[in-house]
């Protein structure tokens, strides 16, 4: 099958979070199974150009409709970890992709609907006819709308769309101007069963457009699929998703087991696996040395996270003091966009300066993240909501025991050491329900206590996590089944 991944992110060249990992991991697995997989991204100025090989001009002079004129683009192509990746370079006076960051501008709906339109214009102009376009998030929600409203008539009549929702907290709410900008009929589309936002009749909802116009819609875990249909986690789209139930399902994400493999990871101090577990202790020593923690018979509790309200900021902050009080060490690697959240963690960092048992590293550091997974004993993920979450799966592969709130994909992947109804060998972490300090402590306290009092049992929990198969093999098969189901034969 010929599959085109339409996405605002792809690791490692343009990654803001788990979406980048999703595109890379799923694409690699599909390609390994012999499918023709290509990725299409904006050519951001902040792209990691050092990770793109053989960048060349693929299609000069692409003209993308924009209001009643057209914007000149070039399409370049390069290899990203062996995958063929197209980059849309827009030469508009708006500098759509030259903002120094992937997201965060007031005109993001304009930027990304322009990108969506450019994808289809490129396919038509270059004669490419993918069987499937796999779209992601609101940023590419207009692709199926444009496809079925305009581009089937221009030769893309055999292309079908699978659309994945990674986070309902961002739906691409905007004004009907983006429809005009893309030559779409506002009167036809601004109606309740098309792109009109359910909560605000004046607003266009790009994610809703993607859901309504795609042939199949997925989200990134079965539990989150249920939550967004039946609770306020759907952020207004619950009814739409229930109406589309026949073409909607949750597929649990995998992790890229080449990138995330303690046996071969080049960013950690010593490679290890199930048979060479003492290697983990050497990483713990290296992590302490790197972050200035003392050598002591204590577990290391870690957080690796975007510092966003979604991630449970108060509980992350509380886990620092609580861990140290309970006789553990604590490390945090986190990046905050919101100034108020940034301030909370800068204050905490200052108050812990030179602390022998705690260290906070504020920023985004891919390589340090690897060493933390390898060196830490536990990882705390107290999310308010979590569509899938890769952190807990990566941590488990590195023998780092997750302590998580029972939401979304966390509930689908972490099974409580004491209270799960799963067989003992499948229990791999600690789970709590309440979004309160007491809730967090009820799980984190048990984890630290087990490490201190029953090291053999703690070791077993580590091994149970390391044995789990969270690779892309199974989810990729689920996606292939979906593609087969919707494709035109």
Output the furthest CA–CA distance in the chain (Å, rounded).
71
Under the binding rule (CB under 6 A), the answer on residue 48 touching ligand ADP is no
Identify the residue among 218, 329, 391, 413 touching ligand ADP (CB under 6 A).
391
Find tokens 């197209």 and name the residue. 86
Which span sits near ligand ADP by CB under 6 A: 285-293, 329-337, 347-355, 436-444? 329-337
Ranges within 141-160 binding ligand ADP (CB under 6 A): none
Nearer to ligand ADP, 65 or 409 (CB): 409
Identify the residue among 118, 240, 316, 390 touching ligand ADP (CB under 6 A).
390
Under the binding rule (CB under 6 A), the answer on residue 304 touching ligand ADP is yes
Nearer to ligand ADP, 174 or 259 (CB): 259
Convert residues 369-388 into a mask of x (bound to ligand ADP by CB under 6 A) and - (unbound): x------------------x
Task: Single out the residue of 371, 367, 409, 364 nearest to residue 389, CA to CA.
Answer: 409
Contact 299, 452 (CB under 8 A): yes
Under the binding rule (CB under 6 A), the answer on residue 400 touching ligand ADP is no
Nearer to ligand ADP, 171 or 305 (CB): 305
Report which residue's Cβ sits closest to ligand ADP. Answer: 18
Identify the residue among 130, 141, 312, 389 touching ligand ADP (CB under 6 A).
389
Task: Single out the residue of 43, 24, 44, 31 nearest to residue 2, CA to CA.
Answer: 31
Q: How many residues bind ligand ADP (CB under 6 A)?
A: 18
Please state the closest distance from residue 193 (CB atom) to ligand ADP, in A. 30
Which span sits near ligand ADP by CB under 6 A: 116-124, 362-370, 453-461, 468-476? 362-370
Ranges within 247-266 binding ligand ADP (CB under 6 A): none
Under the binding rule (CB under 6 A), the answer on residue 306 touching ligand ADP is yes
Under the binding rule (CB under 6 A), the answer on residue 21 touching ligand ADP is yes
Identify the residue among 7, 214, 305, 329 touching ligand ADP (CB under 6 A).
305
Which span sits near ligand ADP by CB under 6 A: 92-100, 154-162, 331-339, 432-440? 331-339
Identify the residue among 334, 382, 429, 475 touching ligand ADP (CB under 6 A).
334
Identify the residue among 63, 67, 267, 364 touching ligand ADP (CB under 6 A).
364
Nearer to ligand ADP, 194 or 306 (CB): 306
Under the binding rule (CB under 6 A), the answer on residue 74 touching ligand ADP is no
Angle at 455 between CA 452 and CA 461, to 5 degrees: 115
CA distance linking residue 184 with residue 176, whole number of Å: 10
Identify the residue among 123, 333, 380, 410 touching ligand ADP (CB under 6 A).
333
Nearer to ligand ADP, 36 or 337 (CB): 337
- Take residue 391 and report the two structure tokens written for it: 């952190």
Under the binding rule (CB under 6 A), the answer on residue 312 touching ligand ADP is no
Interacting residues toward ligand ADP by CB under 6 A: 17-18, 21, 304-306, 333-335, 364-366, 369, 388-391, 394
């Amino acid at each position: 099958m010929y599959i085109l991944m339409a996405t605002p992110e792809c690791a490692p060249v343009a990654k803001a979070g788990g979406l980048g990992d999703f595109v890379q991991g799923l694409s690699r697995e599909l390609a390994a199974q012999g499918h023709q997989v290509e990725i299409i991204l904006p050519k951001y100025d902040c792209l990691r150009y050092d990770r793109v090989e053989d960048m060349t001009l693929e299609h000069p002079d692409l003209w993308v409709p924009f209001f009643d004129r057209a914007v000149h683009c070039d399409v370049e192509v390069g290899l990203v970890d062996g995958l063929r990746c197209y980059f849309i370079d827009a030469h508009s006076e708006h500098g759509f992709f030259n903002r120094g960051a992937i997201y965060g501008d007031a005109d993001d709906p304009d930027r990304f609907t322009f990108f969506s339109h450019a994808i289809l214009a490129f396919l038509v102009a270059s004669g490419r006819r993918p069987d499937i376009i796999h779209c992601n998030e609101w940023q590419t929600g207009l692709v199926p709308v444009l496809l079925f409203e305009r581009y089937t008539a221009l030769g893309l009549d055999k292309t079908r769309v699978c659309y994945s929702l990674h986070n309902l907290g961002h739906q691409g709410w905007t004004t009907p101007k983006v429809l005009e900008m893309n030559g779409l009929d506002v009167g036809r589309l601004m109606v309740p069963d098309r792109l009109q936002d359910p909560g605000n009749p004046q607003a266009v909802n790009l994610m809703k457009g993607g859901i309504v116009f795609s042939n199949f819609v997925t989200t990134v875990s079965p539990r989150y699929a249920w939550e967004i249909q039946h609770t306020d986690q759907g952020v207004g789209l619950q009814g739409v998703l229930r109406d589309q139930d026949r073409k909607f399902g949750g597929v649990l994400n995998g992790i890229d087991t080449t990138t995330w493999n303690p046996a071969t990871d080049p960013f950690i101090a010593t490679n290890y696996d199930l048979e060479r577990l003492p290697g983990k202790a050497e990483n713990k020593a290296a992590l302490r040395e790197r972050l200035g923690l003392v050598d002591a018979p204590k577990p290391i509790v870690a957080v690796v996270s975007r510092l966003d309200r979604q991630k449970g900021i108060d509980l992350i902050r509380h886990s620092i003091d609580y861990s140290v009080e309970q006789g553990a060490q604590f490390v945090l690697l986190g990046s905050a966009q919101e100034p108020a959240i940034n301030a909370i963690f800068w204050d905490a960092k200052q108050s812990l300066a030179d602390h022998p048992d705690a260290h906070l590293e504020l920023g985004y550091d891919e390589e340090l993240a690897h060493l933390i997974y390898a060196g830490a004993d536990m990882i705390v993920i107290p999310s308010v909501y979590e569509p899938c979450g890769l952190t807990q799966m990566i941590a488990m592969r590195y023998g780092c025991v997750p302590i998580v709130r029972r939401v979304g994909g966390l509930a689908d992947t972490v099974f409580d050491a004491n209270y799960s109804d799963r067989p003992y060998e499948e229990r791999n972490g600690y789970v709590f329900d309440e979004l309160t300090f007491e809730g967090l402590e009820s799980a984190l306290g048990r984890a630290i206590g087990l490490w201190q009092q029953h090291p053999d049992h703690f070791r077993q929990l580590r091994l149970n996590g390391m044995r789990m198969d969270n690779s892309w093999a199974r989810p990729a098969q689920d996606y292939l089944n979906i593609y087969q189901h919707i494709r035109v034969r």
